[in-house]
A and B are shown apart, each in its own frame.
Chain A
Amino acid sequence: MVEITPETGAETSARGTGITIKNLYKIFGRNPKAYIDAVMDGMTKTELNAKHGHVLGLRDINIDMPAGCIQVVMGLSGSGKSTLIRHINRLIDPTAGEVLVDDTDVVKMNEAELRQFRRHKTAMVFQKFALLPHRTVLENTVYGLEIQGVPRAKQLEAARRWIVRVGLDGFEDNYPNQLSGGMQQRVGLARALTNDAPILLMDEAFSALDPLIRMDMQSVLLDLQKEIKKTVVFITHDLDEALRLGDRIAILRDGEIVQQGTGQDIVLKPADDYISSFVKEVNRGRVIMVDTIMTPGLRNGGTGLPSVATGTILEHAARIMTEEHVSEIHVHDGKGKPVGHIDMRSVISAMVTPITHDAKQAAE
């Protein structure tokens, strides 16, 4: 496990670079433009493939990613999530639609503008790490700055700082092949962060790592994000990972967005059976917050009870109640003003999967 030491970091200013994706369509095939109108009029993916031999990658994607947040895009393989993230830095060209970053449409950029955009606005972390095997950790980490033509001394300074931050201190002169998967992905992360771009694109960045290392890397990312406040787009097929990392989550299926919202929205109000089948395995105590199920107002004569802030997850509230040997707890807002209360019974009933849902599953 690696401790992240906050004092070594530098950039703390939140930069307001949000991403807005509007009516994005992607059709793969020989002549995608010919079928875009038909697809917009409602031709299905199966029909397009069977009749015309074209594959519908993405259909009518609309996402608003606020600056400084972690936006997770979740979906199973073939859902189009990797295709979607590649539209943000235009590694893939869309068939129709807009990708607005700082009010500039990435889709309309010419080659030189796009190169500048990729150099200064985005950095990317890849599922298979995609490190340069002939370069050492340090030489990999400076890559983005080297491409930008930053003076060598500055490249090395920034790279060394981020290498320390991701916990690779002492491995600067190793080659990627000498490192484990988890460490290679730390290099990938350091390389992206050294680029110092406001947008961080992470394409299944932790999917190739084993579970413990993955948890570890998620903590690294969350700790870093508190301070760097970048606009992170994170692709994953793992709902637990999505819930842990995402300020907002969009769920993709067959190239369409089936639901988007906060983790809590998705767990409490799954939009359809597809999503509820995912959600039923989730540890709800780690997703649902106390304010969602609390009773407003103070309990009569309940002075002296412990108190938690709004936004606390149920698991944490339950732990406090257990430790304090009480069966009730107060909830206070950001300013410390009490806003409601909650008892152990309601916590437990919210944490277990609703019975109606299970019954519905059993009946099917």
Chain B
Amino acid sequence: MDWLYRFPHMDDSTLTALKKSIDEGFRAFTRAYGDAIESFFDPLQYFLIQSERFMTTTPWPIIIALIAAIAWFASRNWKIVASAVITLLLIGFFDMWTDTMKTVSMIFVCTVLSIAIGIPIGILMSRSDRFQSVVNPVLDVMQTMPSFVYLIPVVMLLGIGRVPGLIAVVIYAIPPIIRLTNLGIRLVDKDVLEAADAFGSSSWQRLKNVQMPLALPTIMAGINQTIMMALAMVVIASMIGVQGLGQPVLKAIANQYFTLGMFNGLAIVGIAIIFDRVSQAYGKRLQKHLETIHG
């Protein structure tokens, strides 16, 4: 009756051999193609470095003015602009300016990359039920797999640095934008689509004139979620060499520096709130045509 109390499992030597052969296979793959893959990501590396250089070498008053201007154009709301400026001033006053700029630069690149990859995938998903049924489980894995686990193959392939960090963050943060693009397009009113067809729209015209504009508020919600998840991932990504606010947090954990951890944590919260309010206000402004409903 032993098998009732102990789960009958694969015998230990086979299991070890299995793990070993997969590991060795992957290691061989990294040795053979690692350099090629690394050079494939060179443009990303360049983009990351340029963006980080811009954020850290530009004088701080210009950066603050720039962020305030973006906040104003997106939200048209003085309260949001004022709180963004105050948050940034506080961050600078507590000597976290450079780290914060590195993080903002990282988040910016991650978001751009997620949008550039996520929206086309979302559009394809909305057009084909079969593609949707393939992509959905992949997204489920990406969202539920503990993020430390997929750091391993990324680091094996690309080593430690900005690019592997970027890839890890994008994998973690991209699912909401893909899902919400797909959902937004699928929820577009069938009557309006039929009208577009009746006037002889090609499928590109349908996408450009009807589906994307009507799905845009939903897509904006996806972008907002993506930014928030990217920020949450920044601390974990600092473990593989991403610079910014994550590294002091990591140092604080290792050495039990409560205040250091708290300050940097709050700085992350601060920029998260700025990003969130600004992108939400922009999303709401996109829906302005829906506001005045005729009674």
With A134-B289, A177-B290, A180-B294 as given contacts, are A124 and B198 in contact (CB-CB < 8 Å)? yes
Instruction: For residue B195, give the distance in angstroms from its CB to the closest CB of chain A.
Output: 4
Query: Size range of the interface on B?
Result: 20 to 34
In the complex, the answer to whether B200 meets A128 with C-beta atoms within 8 Å is no
Whole-angstrom CA separation of A128 from B193 in the bound complex: 12
Instruction: Give chain A residues whose Cβ lies under 8 Å from the Cβ of B197.
Output: 91, 118
User: In the complex, which residues 117-153 of chain A have their Cβ closer than 8 Å to any Cβ of chain B?
Assistant: 117-120, 122-124, 126, 128, 130-135, 143-144, 146-148
* Complex interface bits, B172-193 against A, C-beta within 8 A gives 1, otherwise 0: 0000000000000000010110
In the complex, the answer to whether B202 meets A115 with C-beta atoms within 8 Å is yes
Instruction: Give chain B residues whose Cβ lies under 8 Å from the Cβ of A116.
Output: 200
Flag whether A178 is at the interface (Cβ < 8 A): yes
Flag whether A89 is at the interface (Cβ < 8 A): yes
Contact residue among B194, B292, B293 (Cβ-Cβ distance under 8 Å from A126):
B194
Instruction: Give chain B residues whose Cβ lies under 8 Å from the Cβ of A122.
Output: 198
Instruction: Give chain A residues whose Cβ lies under 8 Å from the Cβ of B198.
Output: 89, 91, 118, 122-124, 126, 201
Instruction: For residue B204, give the distance in angstroms from its CB to the closest CB of chain A.
Output: 11
User: In the complex, which residues 89-114 of chain A have their Cβ closer than 8 Å to any Cβ of chain B?
Assistant: 89, 91
Whole-angstrom CA separation of A134 from B291 in the bound complex: 11
* Complex interface bits, A219-249 against B, C-beta within 8 A gives 1, otherwise 0: 0000000000000000000000000000000
Flag whether B230 is at the interface (Cβ < 8 A): no
Flag whether B205 is at the interface (Cβ < 8 A): yes
Flag whether B98 is at the interface (Cβ < 8 A): no
Instruction: For residue A210, give the distance in angstroms from its CB to the closest CB of chain B.
Output: 13
Flag whether A175 is at the interface (Cβ < 8 A): yes
Instruction: For residue A202, give the distance in angstroms from its CB to the closest CB of chain B.
Output: 12
Whole-angstrom CA separation of A180 from B214 in the bound complex: 21
In the complex, the answer to whether B290 meets A133 with C-beta atoms within 8 Å is yes
Instruction: Give chain A residues whose Cβ lies under 8 Å from the Cβ of B194.
Output: 91, 126, 130
Flag whether A155 is at the interface (Cβ < 8 A): no
26 A-B residue pairs with CB within 8 Å: A115-B201, A116-B200, A118-B198, A119-B200, A120-B200, A122-B198, A126-B191, A126-B195, A128-B191, A130-B192, A130-B195, A131-B192, A132-B192, A132-B210, A132-B214, A133-B289, A133-B290, A143-B199, A144-B199, A146-B209, A147-B201, A147-B205, A177-B292, A177-B293, A177-B294, A178-B292
Beyond A124-B195, A146-B209, 20 additional pairs, beta carbon < 8 A: A91-B198, A120-B200, A126-B194, A126-B195, A128-B191, A132-B209, A132-B214, A133-B192, A133-B214, A134-B213, A134-B214, A144-B199, A144-B200, A147-B200, A147-B209, A175-B292, A177-B289, A177-B291, A178-B292, A179-B294
Interface residues of B (CB under 8 A from A): 189, 191-192, 194-202, 205, 209-210, 213-214, 289-294
